[in-house]
A and B are shown apart, each in its own frame.
Chain A
Amino acid sequence: MTRALNRLALYAAVLAVAALVATPMYWLVISAFKSSDEIFTSTPRWLPAALEWHNFGRAWQGAAFGRYFLNSTVVALAIVFLQLATSSLAAYALARRRFVGRTVVLLAVIGALIIPIQVTFLANFITLQHLGWLDSYWALVAPFTASAFGTFLLRQAFLAVPEAMEDAARLDRCTGLAFLWHFLLPLSRPTVLAFTLVALVTHWNDYFWPLIVTNRDEIRTLPIGLAMFVTQEVMSDWNLLMAATLFVAAPMLIIFFLTQRYFIRSHMHAGLKG
């Protein structure tokens, strides 16, 4: 009996938290369908009076979203691919190789985790200017080719693979990069996938950097398109902003729902052993 009560209390608590998370999402969806004068009502309206489908058409027209979708996809995928390549190599060296200064390098990586973009953006900006890469895809991708977070996360995962397995692999002449490719990465698949998703979402959502380094509309990304609905002094069209937010967030939401268990695993791993 007490067990059943405990269960009930647990479910109630979980439902309450779920409602807390889901309500803003629900509000986003219904606001996207509301007419402009229905956005603010003295009592909140949980269902729109009529479904304003044309909000989506108007929102799509509001900025060059087709082009932005393409750019965001290219940029986010390029960054994630490069980060996976550099992070797994660095993590391999840090986890499985002994060399002078390994601890110092590891500490530097951990230190880099806590430096915000506001500190580095000017230095990166000027470097890109010297390379002549401003206002190009390079500017959007190059500063993010390495990831301290990814390196650290993968190092922890690689450490969990037993030494004995490497010895066994060595007998079969599977060493170095071959061991990384055939053993470490497949065995760390949950971590690799989780990191991929986190990196994908982070760079899909990035607003500040693309705005600073790009001037041409042809290479700008989705968050800049969204920002165009937020006004300075004049009114914002909240319903259009919500409609645009919905289709900009949709790909990430779909990927998240399909792969959410890996997300959860990544947060558990960040707690760390080793």
Chain B
Amino acid sequence: MNIRHVLCGLLAATALACGSPAGAAEPVHLSFWYPVDLGGGLAKVIDGLVADFDKAHPDIQVTPTYTGSYDTTLQKIQAAKMAGTLPDVAVTEISSVPVLGALGAARPLDALIAGEGGKKFLDKFWPSMLLNCVYDGKVYGIPFQRSTPVMYYNKDAFKAAGLDPDKPPLTWDELVADAEKLTKRDGDRVTQWGLELPLEAFNWFYYALVYSNGGQSLSPDGTKALWDQPPELAALGFWHDLVNKYKVTPAYTPWNDGPQEFAAGKVAMIWHSTGSQAFMRQNVKFAWGLGRIPKHAQFGPPSGGGNLMLYATDPARQKAAWSFIVWLSDAKQAARWSIASGYLATNVASWDLPEMKALVKEHPEVLVTKAQLADAKAEPASAKYAPARDILNALIKDVLANKAQLEPAVKEAVANANAAMAKQ
């Protein structure tokens, strides 16, 4: 061992010793709450994303926590706000942006966005995906696990019914005509439904019908339900007719049953989330395709899903949390999340990445979801919308089941909803 080795060793040791206070400084610990489907699948994707973020950012460590459904996540955040135990970052359903903004739980992001390039940063996302990110003129959400409804259809059933398997219906009229040909009966019993519009708590397909008929459902200031206006009334009337006049659609399909019923061949066309593509690819044995949500006055699928929102109050944590949000919503990660989950790649640049191009090559139907990104619309939202949402849900169920007359039921629901929204 000569002197040079010793010197080198000493030097290295000094460098290490000097470097360690900065390098080994306690990393910022961030909590990240997310509500998604897990089981074998997406939890591991989230864990993988977080692990890669931690690796790339040694000074930050993120702990992901599963928080149940969108609703329980919201309840958890509301309770945490009261107790002062908010997470640093959380994914919440897009219509809760005004709720959490008004509560003072979520932080406005404008200053952080300005630091990231302002408009240039926001322009990275599809404009339609930013619609549900704003409350009171400030940006609160960054698009993450976002989706639109899309129409899955059975190409084999199309062929059997004498329809062109590459031409799904594009208008309401074509939708009815095709659904009638696709509905098969054995006496009074339906063995194959032409079309299913599964229902969940967020009334997504009501908005899909209303928007494609040129309606709005909720006044732009978020205070008045517009369900009794002509486009809205006609939209629910059309849904009622699909069930009760043309008899091509069952009155009620639970949201989670839809894709499995489609896979089992019980229904030839079904509207569902773009997020269900992964399931369809794994489980559907026949040839299937994707179609746009048909238009009447215009194309206008509602957007849905969850946004990333920031809750940290301490400046150092805010900075770390923001860098996590920026990283997660960046083209590369947005593409990775989209490919693994079936949620939409909300970052425009994601679609130019080789992995996205490979996906499009293998599953060209994905381009239908991309086309819908261009004309997707906001989901109705306001700080006081929750009770109206539930009233609308009950209204839809009653009208479809023929338990209530369309016009009087709608009038009553509008009165109740407006009173509920004014009261709180």
A211-B67, A235-B260 known; A37 vs B283 contact (CB < 8 Å): yes
For B39, give its contact among A37, A39, A63, A122 (CB under 8 Å): A63
A37-B263, A126-B82, A129-B84 known; A233 vs B275 contact (CB < 8 Å): yes
For A37, give its contact among B68, B79, B285 (CB under 8 Å): B285
The answer for the CA separation of A184 and B37 in the assembled complex, in Å, is: 50
Chain A CB count within 10 A is highest, among B40, B67, B69, B70, for B40
What string of 1s and 0s marks CB contacts (under 8 Å) between A120-140 and chain B?
011001101100001000000
**Shortest Cβ gap from B164 to chain A (Å):** 25
Interface residues of B in 246-292 (CB under 8 A from A): 256-257, 259-261, 263-266, 273, 275-276, 278-279, 283, 285
Please tell me if B35 contacts chain A, counting CB pairs below 8 Å. yes
The answer for the CA separation of A128 and B83 in the assembled complex, in Å, is: 9
Establish whether residues B275 and A37, one from each chain, have CB atoms under 8 Å apart when the complex forms: no
Establish whether residues A121 and B275, one from each chain, have CB atoms under 8 Å apart when the complex forms: no
Please tell me if A228 contacts chain B, counting CB pairs below 8 Å. yes
Task: Determine the chain B residues whose CB is within 8 A of the CB of A58 once the complex forms.
Answer: 40
For A42, give its contact among B76, B82, B191 (CB under 8 Å): B191
Task: Determine the chain A residues whose CB is within 8 A of the CB of B283 once the complex forms.
Answer: 36-37, 235
Task: Determine the chain A residues whose CB is within 8 A of the CB of B192 once the complex forms.
Answer: 42
Establish whether residues A232 and B36, one from each chain, have CB atoms under 8 Å apart when the complex forms: yes
Please tell me if B114 contacts chain A, counting CB pairs below 8 Å. no
For A41, give its contact among B40, B65, B66, B264 (CB under 8 Å): B264
**Shortest Cβ gap from A210 to chain B (Å):** 10
A228-B38, A233-B276, A235-B256 known; A40 vs B263 contact (CB < 8 Å): yes
Please tell me if B75 contacts chain A, counting CB pairs below 8 Å. yes
The count of residues in chain B whose C-beta lies closer than 8 Å to any C-beta of chain A is 49
- Among A8-16, A99-107, A236-244, the stretch in contact with B: A236-244
Interface residues of A in 212-231 (CB under 8 A from B): 212, 215-217, 224, 227-231
The answer for the CA separation of A228 and B75 in the assembled complex, in Å, is: 17
A37-B283, A41-B264, A212-B72 known; A234 vs B40 contact (CB < 8 Å): no
For A212, give its contact among B76, B264, B265 (CB under 8 Å): B76
The count of residues in chain A whose C-beta lies closer than 8 Å to any C-beta of chain B is 37
Residue of A nearest to B189 (CB): A42
Residue of B nearest to A135 (CB): B85
Interface of B is mostly: mixed
The answer for the CA separation of A190 and B257 in the assembled complex, in Å, is: 43
Establish whether residues A232 and B37, one from each chain, have CB atoms under 8 Å apart when the complex forms: yes
Task: Determine the chain B residues whose CB is within 8 A of the CB of A232 once the complex forms.
Answer: 35-37, 69-70
For B79, give its contact among A42, A61, A212, A240 (CB under 8 Å): A212
The answer for the CA separation of A122 and B259 in the assembled complex, in Å, is: 37
Please tell me if A62 contacts chain B, counting CB pairs below 8 Å. yes
Establish whether residues A228 and B70, one from each chain, have CB atoms under 8 Å apart when the complex forms: no
**Shortest Cβ gap from A145 to chain B (Å):** 20
**Shortest Cβ gap from A218 to chain B (Å):** 11
Task: Determine the chain B residues whose CB is within 8 A of the CB of A42 once the complex forms.
Answer: 191-192, 264-266
Residue of B nearest to A62 (CB): B39
What string of 1s and 0s marks CB contacts (under 8 Å) between B330-348 and chain A?
0000000000011000000
Please tell me if B143 contacts chain A, counting CB pairs below 8 Å. no
Please tell me if A181 contacts chain B, counting CB pairs below 8 Å. no
The answer for the CA separation of A40 and B257 in the assembled complex, in Å, is: 8
The answer for the CA separation of A58 and B40 in the assembled complex, in Å, is: 8
Please tell me if B147 contacts chain A, counting CB pairs below 8 Å. yes
**Shortest Cβ gap from A232 to chain B (Å):** 6
Task: Determine the chain B residues whose CB is within 8 A of the CB of A61 once the complex forms.
Answer: 40
Interface residues of B in 109-164 (CB under 8 A from A): 147
Task: Determine the chain A residues whose CB is within 8 A of the CB of B42 once the complex forms.
Answer: 234
Task: Determine the chain A residues whose CB is within 8 A of the CB of B79 once the complex forms.
Answer: 121-122, 125, 212
Task: Determine the chain A residues whose CB is within 8 A of the CB of B279 once the complex forms.
Answer: 234-235
Interface residues of B (CB under 8 A from A): 31, 33, 35-40, 42-43, 63, 65-70, 72, 75-76, 79, 82-85, 87, 147, 191-192, 256-257, 259-261, 263-266, 273, 275-276, 278-279, 283, 285, 304-305, 341-342
> Can you list 11 pairs linking A and B with CB atoms under 8 Å apart?
A40-B264, A41-B264, A62-B40, A125-B79, A212-B72, A228-B43, A231-B36, A232-B36, A233-B275, A234-B279, A235-B256
Top 6 A-B residue pairs of the complex, sorted by shortest distance between their CB atoms: A231-B37, A235-B279, A129-B83, A233-B273, A40-B264, A228-B38
Interface residues of A (CB under 8 A from B): 36-37, 39-42, 58, 61-63, 121-122, 125-126, 128-129, 134, 208, 211-212, 215-217, 224, 227-238, 240
New A-B pairs, 15, CB < 8 Å, besides A36-B260, A40-B260, A231-B39: A36-B263, A62-B40, A121-B79, A125-B83, A211-B67, A228-B43, A229-B39, A233-B147, A233-B273, A233-B276, A234-B37, A234-B279, A235-B37, A235-B279, A237-B39
